Structure 1
Amino acid sequence: MNFLVETLQVIFLSFYYYIEVIVRLFISPKRKNVTGEIVLITGAGSGIGRLMALEFSALGVSLVLWDINQDGMKETARLAKEAGAVRVSYYLCDCSDKAEVYRVADQVKKEVGDVSILINNAGIVTGKKFMDAPDSLIEKTVQVNTMAHFWTYKAFLPAMVANNHGHLVSVASSAGLIGVNGLADYCASKFAAVGFAESVALELLATGKDGVKTTIVCPYFINTGMFDGCQTKWPRLLPILEPGYVAQQVVRAVLTDQTYLLMPHSLYWIIGLKNILPVKLGEVLGLYLGAFSVMDSFRGRSKKED
């Protein structure tokens, strides 16, 4: 009897939630008020980290900026204050170092308060074929792109759980959903980040902490310099994304409690196809979309830009 009842419930909810998705295509979801929240952004010294800080600044929040680039953070802080942030604090922090994350997190709690919106944005890429990538760079990629999320969650999630209030944002990548030739270590680190964020979200739901929201962001390549030189085969289908657009969409996703954010929209279809196509046909799709050659002209960010 339980099998029949639960099966019917799943069928009913399937129809209900599909209809809800369709309705939301035409009706903008209600946005929550984040005035007074403490927002911590890692990798805030440049790129979309800086732009997200500026987007949040106009919403009456207190900003906490983390980066390994002191000058970059100072500039972000200056711009954020001009944009209307209530308070801006910045801290030099290497997110790949667990001890440093915990130390700086304790400093933030004492000097600013409990973080209620955590945005794990810091990331790096080696841009080398797997066998050409030095072990040290592979380890660093995993430490920054994956393990840093573990340590920041450990540091700031307890207060969110205690208050049943907060928001966790993982800025991952479309390369965390589908493999890309020439990005083995990066893909592995982003796949891990997505899996970690999904699992923690389920833990929160299972324990009834539905006031702590989660958002997983998976964009295609962004024009920030990190993937300089990369070419997209079909720009209309998979455009190189502009940083300002990405920052706006991430903040919008937080304000509307959107669980998954894929950019561009074509990724929703591509990832769906990847999961249902036969393996050989999936390879044909990857070849068609340029997944085999997108890194061929990779240059990456220059040292001056770093």
Structure 2
Amino acid sequence: MAEFSRIFKGIVGIISLLLFAVFEIVRAILLIFVPASYEPVKTVAGEIVLVTGAGSGLGRQLAIRLAKKQAKVVIWDINVKGLEETHKMIKDVGGIVHSYKCDLTNREEIYQVAEKVKKDVGDVTILVNNAGVVSGYFVLDTPDHLIQRTFDVNSLALFWTAKAFMPKMIENNRGHVVTIASMAGQMACPKLCDYSASKYAAYGFDEGLRLDLEAKGITGVKTTVICPMFIAQTGMFDDVVTRSRRLSVDEVADRTILGILREDIVVMIPTSLRLTFWLKWLVPWSVVSKLMIGLVPDAVPKPGSHMKY
């Protein structure tokens, strides 16, 4: 009898999951045809938003846009000069901004600066983990300390900032964690082995964090992962040799802000690149290899020249 009950419950569980899956798939298909202007968006006015790597590039543009939307912006970077420039730009548009120098390779410094932010500004409600770094060598030519640095900034820092700011979000059942990953975290490229691996980890971090929250029944804390293709004007991939279109900083910043306001789960930029995710599992590896090497003949023509965040 007990065995029959176990099997029965298993069958009911499978049927329930299938019905739920069909409902969600149909809903997702219908939402494709809903104009973006009709989709619900939230406001960030009055929110305390922390953006890491805000001293230049995408982080700077995200911070400025969020400030224009009346968020209280906290900016972190290791580059003091860039930090000061971003601070001034935000002030010039009438925004509220607090800036802090922080080395994201140093876990204890992250925790210390986080405590200072809580004391000076308040509890962060939207955390944007934007900072990133690239080495730009074939893996066997990459010095050990650069591999370590890549993972410290692109992957491990995500855990330390989350542990610093999420407890209050969870306590209040209100918050949003945004992870800037990369399409390189979906499909790797030559010369980007450590970078791609760290961005795969970033994507996995977001997915695992979201599952942790759902398993605990925490519905008010959202997560969003952003996966853009190569972005021009950030200092990381300005001279990349690629047959794909390079994205502008403004384009990625605008789409990221929309993703935050709509609380999207995954944002791939451009959207058409979603197809590559499925292609990877549907065709032989020889095809994937030929595609990626042909699409990106040289991701970093000047190795070691873009190691910043």
TM-score (norm 2): 0.91
CA deviation string 1:183-203 (max 9, x = no partner): 111111111111122111111
Figure out how many residues of one structure are paired with residues of the other and give that number.
Answer: 298
State the 1:296 CA deviation.
Answer: 5.9
Q: Percent identity?
A: 40
Q: 1:200 aligns with which of 200, 206, 209?
A: 209
Paired residue for 2:251, among 242, 245, 254? Answer: 245
User: Partner of 2:13 in structure 1?
Assistant: 6
Displacement of 1:287: 1.3
1: CA distance, partners of 2:237 / 2:84? 24
- Counterpart Cα distance in 2 of 1:132 and 1:182: 9
1:254 to 257, 260, 265: 260
Q: 1:160·1:166 contact (CA, 8 Å) conserved in 2? A: yes
Superimposed CA distance per residue, residues 74-109 of structure 1 (whole angstroms, 9 cap, x where no aligned partner): 211222223342x20000001110011011000000
Mark the structure with the bigger radius of gyration.
2
Report what 2:3 is aligned to.
Answer: none
What is the identity, as a one-letter code, of the residue corresponding to 2:73? Answer: L
C-alpha separation between the residues in 2 aligned to 1:301 and 1:80?
31
User: Structure 1 or 2: larger helix share?
Assistant: 2
Structure 2 Cα separation of the partners of residues 33 and 95 of structure 1: 29
Partner of 1:117 in structure 2?
A: 126
Tell me how far apart the structure 2 counterparts of residues 41 and 129 of structure 1 sit (CA, whole Å). Answer: 30
C-alpha separation between the residues in 1 aligned to 2:304 and 2:93? 27
Q: Work out which of the residue numbers 117, 129, 145 in structure 2 matches 1:136.
A: 145
Equivalent position amino acid for 1:184 in 2: C
Matches within 5 A, 1:50-199: 50-85=60-95, 87-199=96-208
Give the CA RMSD over aligned residues.
2.0
- Post-superposition shift, 1:292? 7.4
- Give the match's secondary structure for 1:213: strand
Q: Deviations over 1:279-301 (max 9, x none)?
A: xx233133124367532662268
For 1:288, the equivalent position in structure 2 comes to 291
**Which of the residues 268, 272, 287 maps onto 2:274?**
268
Give how far 1:302 is off: 5.1
Counterparts of 1:249 and 1:136 in 2: how far apart (Å)?
34
Over residues 131-180 of structure 1, what are the superposed CA-to-partner deviations in whole Å (9 max), with x where a residue is unaligned?
Answer: 11111111111111111111101100111010010000110111112222
1:42 aligned to 2:43? no
Q: Distance in 2 between matches of 1:241 and 1:294?
A: 17
| Aligned residue identity for 1:20 | R
Conserved in 2, the CA contact under 8 Å of 1:39 and 1:61?
yes
**Inter-partner Cα distance in structure 2 for 1:10 and 1:173:** 31
Question: Once the 2 structures are TM-superposed, how far is the Cα of residue 36 of structure 1 from its aligned partner?
Answer: 0.8
Distance 1:150 1:181 in 2: 27
**Secondary structure of 1:123's partner?**
coil
Stretches of 4+ moved more than 3 A in 1?
A: 289-294, 300-303
Q: What 5-or-longer segments of structure 1 have no aligned partner? A: none
Matching of residues 204-219 of structure 1 within 5 Å = 204-219=213-228
182 and 297 in structure 1: CA distance in 2 versus 1, 3 angstrom threshold: closer
Letter paired with 1:242:
S
Partners in 2 of 1:168 and 1:69 — Cα distance?
A: 23
Unaligned runs of 5+ in 2: 1-7
Per-residue CA distance 1:26-82 (angstroms, 9 max, x = gap)? 222200122110000000000000000111112111000000111211211222223
> Structure 1 292/184 Cα, relative in aligned 2: closer, same or farther at 3 Å?
farther
Q: Which residue of 1 aligns with 2:4?
A: none
